[in-house]
Amino acid sequence: MKRRNFIGSTLIGSAGISLGASNLPFPSSVLGANDKIVLGLIGSGSRGLSTIVSTCQINANVVIKTVCDVNDLKAAKAISTIEKVLGYKPLRSKNMKEVFNDKEVDAVWISTPEHWHSLATVWACQAGKDVYVEKNPSISIWEGRKMVEAAVKYKRIVQVGFENRSAPYAFTAREYIQSGKLGQIVAVKSYNMLGGSKWMPKPDTAVPVGLDWDAWLGPAPYVPYNPNIHDMESRGGWGNFWAYSGGVLADDASHVMDLARMVLGDPGHPKSVYGWGGNNAWNSTKETPEFQSITYDFGKYTLTCDSGNATNYMKKTPNNIRMDPKLFPDWRTNATRTEIYGTEGLMYLGRHGGGWQVKGEDSVLIAQDGGIFPDPDHQKDFIESLKSRKKPNGAVEQGQLSACLVHLGNICYRVGNKQLVFDGEKEQFIGNDEANKFLRTSYRENYRMPEKV
């Protein structure tokens, strides 16, 4: 079962709080612990729908007022699901700015394709809304920095959907490393070894009925409608194109590297990066690579990431292990593990459940802590942050640093699989004008990211 289907079946299908329509006086305030919090959903695909519904189920007095989507089919499905599961029917909008300008909405849940994440977040902050935004939070280093600037300037809570940052076992892993029991860290290896198949191009077609294609493209360059980019009912293939995504590295490896950064104490930017990638496994003609191997220089140790859609024999942590803190994966064929090598032991770390284990000589088990899927913990933390105004787990500042690992690796690939030296203070490359051209993306009229947020 794929991750998104797993989330939907375990959260939307679970028993939750039933809210009748009579219980929905939408005017609210997040200043008091007992006040109702009103959310708006921006982008109603399966991931966004399942997580926002779960948030309403596990937190008292949290409701969804509006579903915003430029796809009529997905919006209708989301509204029907919310009515069935939560007991009331939300409003519908096709324009996210209508939701941002609604004074009754406290926070927005941004689960659009990646190319919309940054601009939608900045617009929401400017309108005084708090934000939950799915990973990867940006498609360029520059626009991610604008998200941070907007959150600070407008004093908004902005949580990125790097939900491993709310996993209790992630905190204990960090504490174990900080205690010195693992010794000096000498190497970190993150894996995102997923399965795949050959990607095949398709011809352009007419825009489907019920879709505002121009609005879906938003900041991205205008192109004719293509079914390889968008699908009316499923997620679609936009992750295969640079204009909308950072590829597999952004979609899945971002989680693994973000969790590695967290347990290592959140190091800043790497000093340099070497990246290799290509479409050599299936010989696909898509833009984003089928496989990448990247090395980041953090001074006292390197972090490497191997990521792609070429290893069908590797599997993510099985669902039964994800939901049972007493069980651990078979690390040898675990597709999304991190290995942290210290002078005193080797820590295996699971993503989205699976916990961690430390092994020594002859694979003797030294220490461990189990863990389960952390979505509910992250959703509770977001709502608590809205009330307390304290930074959430997965605050946008750390989201930017983790997202930059994705961008750095992809830029290495796009300039010809090179090593690049990076100035973390200025967030730009040293001595490579070609690489610096990829620091920011272009934006269409009416969808421009402001230079000053």
Between residues 30 and 223, the one the model is more confident about = 223
What confidence tens digit (pLDDT) does each residue in 279-309 have? 999 999 999 999 999 999 999 999 999 999 9
Angle between helices 46-58 and 72-86 (to 10 degrees): 20
What is the structure's pLDDT at 20?
36
By mean pLDDT, which of 8-17, 248-257, 295-304, 440-449 is the weakest? 8-17
pLDDT digits (tens, 9 = 90+) for 144-174: 999 999 999 999 999 999 999 999 999 999 9
Neighbouring-strand partners of residue 68: 42, 93
**Per-residue pLDDT tens digits for 242-282:** 999 999 999 999 999 999 999 999 999 999 999 999 999 99
The pLDDT value recorded for residue 184 is 98
Strand order of the β-sheet with 302-309 is 365-369, 356-359, 346-349, 338-342, 185-194, 302-309, 291-297, 272-278, 419-423, 428-429
Tell me the residue length of the chain. Answer: 453
Q: How confident is the model at residue 21 (pLDDT cuts 50, 70, 90)?
A: very low
d(CA 305, CA 302): 10
**pLDDT tens digits for range 181-193:** 999 999 999 999 9
The confidence band for 28, taking pLDDT boundaries of 50, 70 and 90, is low
**Whose CA is closest to 290, among 407, 162, 197?**
197
Q: What is the pLDDT of residues 94-130, one digit of tens each?
A: 999 999 999 999 999 999 999 999 999 999 999 999 9
Q: Is the pLDDT of residue 407 over 70?
A: yes
pLDDT for res 332: 95
In the predicted model, is pLDDT for residue 1 greater than 80? no
Distance CA 427, CA 450 (A): 18
137 pLDDT exceeds 90? Answer: yes
% of the chain with per-residue pLDDT over 70: 92
| pLDDT in the model for residue 18 | 33
206-209: Cβ within 8 A, 24+ apart: 208/232
The CA distance from 217 to 57, in Å, is: 32
Provide the pLDDT for residue 34.
53
Neighbours of 255 (CB within 10 A): 24
Give Rg (Cα) of the chain: 21
Q: Is the pLDDT of residue 17 over 90?
A: no
Go through 179-196 and write b for each residue having 16 or more CB atoms within 10 A of its CB, e for each that does not: eeebeebeebbbbbbbeb
Find the angle CA(159)-CA(134)-CA(168) to the nearest 5 degrees.
Answer: 55
The rounded distance, in Å, linking the Cα atoms of 13 and 299 is: 46
Average pLDDT, the chain: 93
The pLDDT, as a whole number, for residue 35 is 85
pLDDT tens per residue across span 321-349: 999 999 999 999 999 999 999 999 999 99
pLDDT at 12 over 50: no
Ordered structural domains, the chain, with CATH: 3-164+377-395 (3.40.50.720), 165-375+396-453 (3.30.360.10)
pLDDT at 22: 34
CA distance linking residue 350 with residue 371, whole number of Å: 8
- Three-state DSSP at 306 gives strand
d(CA 45, CA 204): 23
CA 200 → CA 229, 244, 265, distances in Å? 12, 18, 42
User: With 70 as the cut, is the pLDDT of residue 397 above it?
Assistant: yes
The pLDDT > 90 percentage for the chain reads: 92
More confident residue, 437 or 13: 437
